Structure 1
Amino acid sequence: MLVCNMALRLRPVTVLSTGSPLSVAKCVFVCFQSCHATKPDMLNVHLVPHTHDDVGWLKTVDQYYYGGDLDRNNIQHAGVQYILDSVVDQLLKNPDRRFIYVETAFFYRWWKQQSSSMQQTVKQLVDEGRLEFVNGGWCMSDEATTHYSAVIDQMTLGLRFLNETFGVCGRPRVAWHIDPFGHAREHASMFAQMGFDGFFFGRVDYQDRARRMKDKEQELLWRASSSLTPPMADLFTGILPNGYNPPDGFCWDQLCDDAPIRDDPDLEDYNVDDVVTRFLKAANTQALAYKTNHIIMTMGSDFQYENANLWYKNLDKLILYVNANQSSGSKVNLLYSTPSCYLQELHRANLTWPLKEDDFFPYADAAHDFWTGYFTSRPALKRYERISNSNLQTCNQLEVLGGPASRKGPFGAGDSQTLSKAMAVAQHHDAVSGTEKQHVANDYAKRLAEGWQHCQVLQNPLISTFYGILASALFCFPQFSVGVYNPLAHPVTWPVRLPVNGTAYGVTDATGKPVDSQVCVLPRFISIRRFVTAALAKRGDMKRFVSEGVSSVQIHSGRQEEPRLRSERYLQVTFDPDTGLLSGLSNLETKQTIKLTQNFYWYNSSRGNNAESKQPSGAYIFRPNSSTPLVVSKTAKVQSFQVKHSVVQEVRQRFSPWVSQVVRLYADSKALELEWTVGPVPINDWQGKEVITRLDTSIKTSQLFYTDSNGREVLQRRKDFRPTWELKQTEPIAGNYYPINSRAFLKDDEDQLTVVTDRSQGGSSLQNGSLEIMLHRRLLFDDYRGVDEALNEASEIFPDGLVVRGRLFLTLDHPASAADTHRPLAQQVVLQPLLTFTDGDLSPETQLEFSGLQAALPSAVHLLTLSQWDKDSVLLRLEHQFQSDESQVNSRPVTVNLQLHWFCFSEEKLMLKEFEDPSVTEVTLRPMEIRTFLLRVSRR
């Protein structure tokens, strides 16, 4: 069954509802015409009652939901369950009132606890448009550090619940990101393709806002893709006037200090005239920055409306008394409203709006306050979130391929939903962003770990059926088998590195043929002493090889010699004999060579004692004390060891007691791997440190560099420049940092050096031909953005400070063909193979190879989603993973026949629902296009 022609488009013709056809028709009529009337000859002020409920930040998700003194109310008073209880009660008391709600993760929990009569009451409020859902994702996701596939998943989770629970009237029409700290173009593109009519947010750079207010450009058309044909990725976008807070002096929550409206004229402190005068001034001042006779005011804030009576009683009075002044000539009209009602009025104005084609990064709220530190904050959590995304996709695929047997069996009932919900929570703008308190970060990680366990239970019956013996995610065997499942729908070669407790291992493939492998003894500054390494070719499948205790593999330890790495076909790497640093990179296939020097540095974090500003570096803010970073290594030449073998060549470098690196080149690999280890970052000198690695090249970049947006399209960046306003640069380092979600590159007419990252990080190009990436941060002060805690991570394993390990992958290509290398590589890094292990020898009947697809998809097509939708259907998403102008080969439309040949372990097969017109199964994907389908599961 074809659901829609865009990812998650929310306005399909079919209305999904539990009601009768008559009730559906009534719902459509009411909810889409529930907006209060406005007055064309007046300034219409749309009052939007709302709450902003972080899915974890200063408290965990559970603590925020339940509230109470035992749940850290000394940190922040909040109880989401009481907010929803109170709002519903108050909406029932006055049909004029409106309320919007965002975070489905909280609403879903509250909904499950309600009686059937209360659920029916809430459905009536939704049908009548009095309670409106906006955004609708499981959370309000971060926009800088999230990968697009995880964002789509969390939006799917929330929107599906709303659709199945409330039907058409529960479907959000407006995207609502009032708190994320900068805004990505790819998010706007995804929202447009999901069918949203508009997008509203609160945070925008202070210089950008000032210019937009002056020119009345706070509402605009965002053209969010350079590849998709307009208006596919065009989205009306509005910048809210007060962030997401009410105007000063008009906050009537129990958390606020503003005086209530006292409207008894017999009382001494009667204040109606004062309130009306102040409000009219605020409304008319706000109107000066907007183009129409409609303005929006957000009446609410963080965790407000726990006692909704306070808000609504005063809002009722405000509307009454301000509108009463119309009889005396006032031209201001107040009304309860929602973002979709406000957007409807802007549409009716039929104006031309300014066009924007870049993004809203970086974000600063003052001259020295750039929110660019969180691009890297909590790098270990960022990596854990990324590999959890990979594990979730694999879990989803295996659940589909395994059929019902994967969800029940001798190992218990497994599920993918636990990890799906944990990943959805992790997308929150105070989760993967790294801007939460430490105990909350621990809770996010715990939820992900529990999700892994549930997926392991789900996968065990499948893998055990495949192997014929018990599989495990852990191993410690002298003789064992390794299952390697490739979640990509393309063949890849992926090196497998396993820690071993021995020196004699042999590796064979599924046919019994020996696989080239090696055992490496690592130097003392590497914690794990031995690895066995082998490279396996895979084709969207599962394979295995056996490692036995035989003496067929040579042991390689480090040799003191002048290092140099060279593969047979692709890459050559040279090192400076005087410094031991990288000095050059060559692509042997294309005969390209560039100068390339890499080193590690750290910025001294501001303590907030500068003459210009009291702003310190913290979880959100990056503010170095100096524009010149300090080199990590204290010696003229870094210590290095070299290992060479037909499988892999390595140069292991030690820069300091707390920074080391392995420069690794695999046979037949087009990418050079830099595996860095940083930590514990020393702070005994009482200096916070922001650790970077910098690549200095001979590429002539002319102040330009390029970063991806949420792992998809790439945007051009220029030092000290913003495309839509004249920038006054006040922080030469932090003000030039951008999020790097999966890759960044430098290029000129001849050469392109691309760096693929294994997690979201911040980076910049501060000099021509130079690219720096921030790897780790350890700070001593809070940055006054609410966390009230220094970003100073430690753990039981690392009590002296967190040690973080990660990888960068470097490719060198001609610019015209570079995307053909780095786009598939980025997908491989995001969706890594799943490894499973079995003890002992195998029976002759054991199946050694399996592929879920009979043939690979075209190289331009990525299998984005394959997951169980319900008992009889499967969700399939395919995407064209190239932009329209980046590849002569792959930037073309691709046609895929959806009568794919899927092979399942159970007695089932996947097929499209029968169509009268067989041409429907021929689907053409254009560059950057995502298509979503439902497949029916047919039992043989």
Structure 2
Amino acid sequence: MLNVHLVPHTHDDVGWLKTVDQYYYGGESLSLLSVLSLSGPHAGVQYILDSVVEQLLQNPERRFIYVETVFFHYWWRNQPAAMQTSFVNGGWCMSDEATTHYSAVIDQMTLGLRFLNDTFGPCGRPRVAWHIDPFGHAREHASMFAQMGYDGFFFGRLDYQDRDHRRINRDQELLWRASESLEPPMADLFTGILPNGYNPPEGFCWDQSCDDPPIMDDPNLEDYNVDDVVKRFTKIAHSQALMYKTNDIIMTMGSDFQYENANLWYKNLDKLIRYVNAQQANGSQLNVLYSTPSCYLQELHRANLTWSLKTDDFFPYADDAHNFWTGFYSSRPALKRYERVSNGHLQTCNQLEVLGGPWSREGLFGAGDSETLRRAMAVAQHHDAVSGTEKQHVANDYARMLAVGWQHCQVVVSNSLAALSGSSADRVYCDHLNISACPLTEANKKFSVNVYNPLARPVLWPVRLPVNGCAYTVVPVSKATQQVRKDRGYAVNELVFQARAPPLGYTTYFVSMIQNGPPEASVRHGPPASIQNQFVKATFDPATGLLDSLTNLETEQTIRLKQTFYWYNASDGISSVSEQPSGAYIFRPNSSTPFLIPSSGRAESIQTPEVQEVRQQFGPWVSSVLRLYRDSRALELEWTVGPVPIEDSLGKEVVVRLDSSIRSSGLFYTDSNGREVLQRKKDFRPTWNLRQTEPVAGNYYPINSRAFIKDDEDQLTLVTDRSQGGSSIHNGSLEVMLHRRLLYDDVRGVGEPLNETSDVFPLGLVVRGRLLLSLAPPMLAADAHRPLAQENVLQPLLSFTEGAPPPGTLLEFSGLQAALPPAVHLLTLSQWDQDSLLVRLEHQFQTRESKKHSVPVTVNLQKLFSTLKVVGMSELNLSANQWLEEMKRLDWRPNLDGQPLRKPPRDPSALEVTLSPMQIRTFVLRVVRR
């Protein structure tokens, strides 16, 4: 028999054309002209769930799968009696895979899966990951799903050439080996590519948004069509079977926001199953059944076949020759940065909720919580949220939710710091320090600044505070900053100092303006010959004033290095080659040669004992600062872009390019969701022969935290402060897309061009960010860029109080007895229940990445915290929804496996845990306060 598994489902975006709340309630009805035909003008998720559950209860053979736990949570809490359905995925949303950071993905999965555990127990635990709509698929996501206990992973989108190749070779189901470091099968995940994306076969859509005729089965009526339906379905099923390896195939029966009237679907599916299976009496070998991905996966496992092995990822994604979905890697860069900052805020809030104890939630400054920000961050991971592919008002709503969540967390942080320090002074948080705006520091001659470090190792962090006076070292606020700041601040100087903060703790600094203090830093017009500290030296071309070389003084390495800004002219879709324009999803320049943004020739240089910087202007809407702090091992490149001009009716995609003397031979490297690194090769795909049609867009990849190029001697690493798209189009070159402003929609459903403005910037959004540049020998480079990347994700949190700290204030505190080893990162510290903590420890180096750190490391949990005593420990899977010892996964056989199995070392004792390279271990720790 050929078994056809019908999988009824709905795909409910957690925000896209409407906000999350509008989608749930069915509010703000959409214009039919602005949506895809399958999206429907109403889109009310509450009615979908009402309707589906009613239909499931009528017939126990029916099945339905659901993904978006946030919507289900909304619905479930309003239900009068217990109900149950089947789940896949189980995360708070179906996250994006290109622009998300692994720590935020783990958090949102944990949030959704814990809700299912608490609500349904073990029978609500999903076994299949279902990512049918993300625009390309990351290897690290597959690794995380495997470590969360999933048996399989199904998706619908992959490059059109890759799909054609796999169809011909019957290779649409495979085994994904998603880590080069973890012992197989720890990160192995069975992966299936769905036959129709996530839509029904053509002619078999029975939603109220569909045009296909229903099954009309009364032979006495003129429109009787059962014979035709059976014939067409049989042909489709046998055609599909030719592209898969077993006698079981899957068909998705549903699409965007379908099943609001579930009776339409189920009435016709019941008939389809009955009439197709009735043909078995006439010798048909076709069997149709209601099913779920888990049931389908079980049948594939029973087939006991071997499967091809994949070790790279599914980026970039193109749906046709000139349609590369690589623009969204950089779309809405301000939102992408805000999401990354909010992730750091959430981790800090979680930690201080633990360290401050019960006083954190109900303390001196009232009631606060971490849950509001946790849920907002989970929603922000959606594949139409941080990706930047939503409508503008929806993007605004995501940012609003993050802001509200941070307000709730500020209460927790203030309560905790008051409890730890013994100070009851009102605490202020300044969210605009990147544009030199902070009312408290600008208005007060004396103030205190608390620097909290969320990392489990000490940090030395450069602090820049807007002030109107002199104290220690001050530099003048730049003209570029004044322009972007507008009337949101009035400081003339920035106080610059390097703060030392202990691991998982804080240091408090007292600042006092003095009349006869050190003079303001002198501003020199034009760039210097060089800037340097004890570790790094950067030289400048005397003819152009631009960066010319970079030197690592510790290793005595020097490379030529030039920094320039360009913009690609975005295609408007008027072309004899393709009618595809650039848009929120798709990057399509109308030429492979970008336009140079020339230096204006205006430059300023500042040299002080604390910081040296060169401020450069590139025309009226691009500026940069090359900055070197006293003890930094990286050169900072701060960029400011906008408003991007469109008066010439040209959309623009703005990039910074770093051209070096490194002999990279067409190879470059990018991280996967902030963790493991993959090698990229220009105009090449590891598993199929690429026919390249877009020399620039077709070579762009997501960069979540870092990218690098190298040769035998030198490695230049670029660390980003948000997810961005980038590439190495030329040998020895790295380029990163900073900002996009477009005039046309790319016809992928969002229905509006990516043309961001705001009340503050009505002429176009201005975006500021920073890149860190590090030069080192290849085998030492990770020792530098891994910590840099973690510092960018978990930056110290600054908070301020007026005046000097009150007498008796504890000015320094660490939540750890000692810093963790350099290879170990404290990924999670949060309250689990009243007496338990959720803790994740991560080995942050890959196998063979570092001579010093790519080895197993042991941590004693009893010696971890300074104020908490660990009295018990239980280990869970990565998503914390199952005890690790109870987690059982299906075994799959690759048809090619040349890698020897590496067994992770055993723990020396119950409360000592050992981590192998790239391993994350998750624990519930029972604690008492010391």
CA distance in 2, matches of 1:484, 1:392: 16
Q: Which residue of 1 aligns with 2:770?
A: 807
Report the equivalent of 2:9.
50
Per-residue deviation, 1:410: 3.7
Matches within 5 A, 1:259-270: 259-270=213-224
Q: Which amino acid aligns with 1:488?
A: L
Match of 2:298 in 1: 344
- Matched residues in 2 for 1:164 and 1:172: separation? 13
Looking at structure 2, the residues matched to 558 and 294 of structure 1 have their Cα atoms a distance apart, in angstroms, of 73
The residue number in structure 1 matching 2:750 is 787
Residue number among 509, 513, 516 corresponding to 1:545 in the alignment: 509
Kindly state the Cα deviation for residue 523 of structure 1 after the two structures are TM-superposed: 3.6
- In 2, are the aligned partners of 1:898 and 1:912 still within 8 Å (CA)? no
Give ranges in structure 1 of 5+ residues lacking alignment.
1-41, 124-130, 507-516
**C-alpha distance in structure 2 between counterparts of 1:886 and 1:651, whole Å:** 33
**Letter in structure 2 aligned against 1:81:** Q
Tell me how far 1:922 sits from its aligned partner. 1.3
Partner of 1:128: none
Q: CA deviation at 1:518?
A: 2.8
Which secondary structure does the structure 1 equivalent of 2:923 belong to?
A: strand
Q: Decide whether the 8 Å contact of 1:99 with 1:132 is kept in 2.
A: yes
Q: CA deviation at 1:526?
A: 4.4
Q: Secondary structure at the match of 2:306?
A: coil
Residues 67-216 of structure 1 correspond to what in structure 2 (within 5 A)? 67-68=26-27, 76-115=41-80, 117=81, 119=82, 122-123=83-84, 131-216=85-170
User: Distance in 2 between the 1:202 and 1:863 partners?
Assistant: 35
Distance in 2 between residues matched to 1:106 and 1:165, nearest whole Å? 14
**TM superposition shift of 1:545:** 0.8
Out of 365, 369, 372, the position equivalent to 2:323 is 369
Whether 1:741 and 2:731 are equivalent positions in the alignment is no
- Corresponding residue SS for 1:53: coil
The answer to whether the 8 Å contact 1:67/1:73 transfers is: no
- 1:77 and 1:346 map into 2 onto residues whose CA distance is 38
**Equivalent position SS for 2:116:** helix
Deviation at 1:531, TM superposition (A): 1.0
Say if 1:519 and 1:554, in contact at 8 Å, map to a contact too: no
Which of 257, 262, 281 aligns to 2:235? It is 281
Q: Does 1:463 align with 2:429?
A: no
User: Structure 2: how far apart are the matches of 1:345 and 1:70?
Assistant: 42
Aligned counterpart for 1:482 among listed residues 426, 449, 461: 449
The answer to whether residue 475 in structure 2 is matched with residue 519 in structure 1 is: yes
Q: 2:568 maps to what in 1?
A: 603
Q: Secondary structure at the match of 1:876?
A: strand
Deviates further, 537-546 or 595-604: 537-546
Task: Tell me if the contact between 2:662 and 2:732 (Cα under 8 Å) persists in the aligned partners.
Answer: yes
**Using the alignment, how far apart are the partners of 1:566 and 1:715 within structure 2?**
33
Alpha-carbon offset, residue 854 of structure 1? 1.5
Change (3 A) 1:331 1:695: same
2:632 counterpart of 1:669: yes
Matches within 5 A, 1:364-403: 364-403=318-357
Q: Matched residues in 2 for 1:274 and 1:524: separation?
A: 69
Identity %: 70
Contact 2:68 2:92 in 1 (8 A): yes
2:471 is the counterpart of 1:505: yes
Distance in 1 between residues matched to 2:293 and 2:664, nearest whole Å: 43
Separation (CA, whole Å) in 1 of partners of 2:279 and 2:688: 40
Letter aligned with residue 503 of structure 1: G
1:245-260 alignment to 2 at 5 Å?
245-260=199-214
Q: Distance in 1 between matches of 2:141 and 2:784?
A: 25
Q: State whether residues 521 and 556 of structure 1, in contact with CA within 8 Å, keep that contact through their aligned partners in structure 2.
A: no
1:872 corresponds to which of 819, 832, 835: 835
Corresponding residue number in structure 2 for 1:473: 429
Q: Which residue of 2 aligns with 1:560?
A: 525
Give unpaired runs (5+ residues) of structure 2: 35-40, 431-439, 486-491, 876-906
TM-score by length of 1: 0.91
What secondary structure, in the 3-state scheme, does the structure 2 residue paired with 1:365 have?
coil
**2:923 paired with 1:933:** yes
Q: Is the 8 A contact 2:160 2:319 kept in 1?
A: yes
Name the CA distance, whole Å, in 2 between partners of 1:462 and 1:97. 51
- Residue 657 (structure 1) shift: 0.5
Cα 1:209–1:914 change in 2 (3 A) is closer
Superposition deviation, residue 525 in structure 1 = 6.5
TM-score for the superposition, normalised by structure 2 = 0.92
CA deviations over 1:657-694 (Å, ceiling 9, x no partner): 00000100001210000000000000000000000000
User: Is the aligned partner of 1:576 residue 2:524?
Assistant: no
Report what 2:488 is aligned to.
none
Residue aligning to 2:21: 62
Q: Deviations over 1:153-210 (max 9, x none)?
A: 0000000110111111100000000000000000000001111000000001000000
Aligned to 1:695: 658
| Structure 2 Cα separation of the partners of residues 283 and 435 of structure 1 | 34
Match of 1:320, SS state, is helix
Query: Which residue in the other structure is 1:588 paired with?
Result: 553
- Which residue of 914, 921, 932 maps to 2:911? 921
Determine the C-alpha separation between the residues in 2 that align with 1:148 and 1:59: 26
- Deviation digits for residues 841-870 of structure 1, max 9, x if unmatched? 233311111111110000000000000111
8 Å contact 2:502–2:813 — kept in the other structure?
Answer: no
The residue aligned with 1:912 is 872
**d(CA) in 2 for partners of 1:361 and 1:533?**
41
Correspondence for 1:622:
587
SS in 2 for 1:370: coil
Q: Is the Cα–Cα contact under 8 Å of residues 565 and 650 in structure 1 kept in the other structure? A: no
Name the amino acid aligned to 1:610. S
Change (3 A) 1:109 1:71: farther
CA distance in 2, matches of 1:919, 1:520: 56
1:36-90 per-position Cα deviation (integer Å, ceiling 9, x unaligned): xxxxxx1100000000010000000000000045687885320000111111100
Hey, what does 1:329 align to over in structure 2? 283
User: Take 2:627 and 2:179, find their aligned partners in 1: how far apart are those partners?
Assistant: 36
Alpha-carbon displacement from aligned partner over 1:880-915 (angstroms, at most 9, x marks no partner):
0000111010000001111134234xxx65543599
The answer on whether the counterparts of 1:159 and 1:171 sit within 8 Å (CA) in structure 2 is yes
Shift of 1:132: 1.1
User: Once the 2 structures are TM-superposed, how far is the Cα of residue 546 of structure 1 from its aligned partner?
Assistant: 1.1
Contact 1:143 1:184 in 2 (8 A): yes
- 8 Å CA contact 1:375–1:739 kept in 2: the answer is yes
Q: Which amino acid aligns with 1:505?
A: A
Task: Give, in angstroms, the shift of residue 538 of structure 1.
Answer: 1.8
Q: Which residue of 1 aligns with 2:645?
A: 682
Q: State the 1:561 CA deviation.
A: 4.2
Q: Secondary structure at the match of 2:363?
A: coil
Inter-partner Cα distance in structure 1 for 2:644 and 2:480: 19
- Cα distance change, pair 438–584 in 1 and its aligned pair in 2 (3 A): same
Pairing 1:822–2:778 present = no
Quick one: which of 617, 623, 648 aligns to 1:660? 623
Mapped pair 1:766 → 2:725 = no
Report the Cα distance in structure 2 between the residues aligned to 1:536 and 1:346, rounded to whole angstroms.
57
- Tell me the amino acid that sits aligned with residue 752 of structure 1: Q
Q: Is the 8 A contact 1:503 1:519 kept in 2?
A: no
1:45–1:294 contact (8 Å) kept in structure 2:
yes
Structure 1 range deviating more: 382-391 or 540-549: 540-549
Q: Report if aligned partners of 2:874, 2:924 keep a CA contact under 8 Å in 1.
A: no
Contact residue 476 and residue 493 of structure 2 kept, 8 A: yes
Shift of 1:936: 1.4
Going from structure 1 to structure 2, the CA distance change for 1:489 and 1:565 (only over 3 Å counts) comes to: farther
How many residues were matched structurally? 871
Q: Which residue of 2 aligns with 1:22?
A: none
Residues 343-387 of structure 1, C-alpha deviation per residue, up to 9 Å, x if partnerless?
000000000101100000000000000000000000000000000
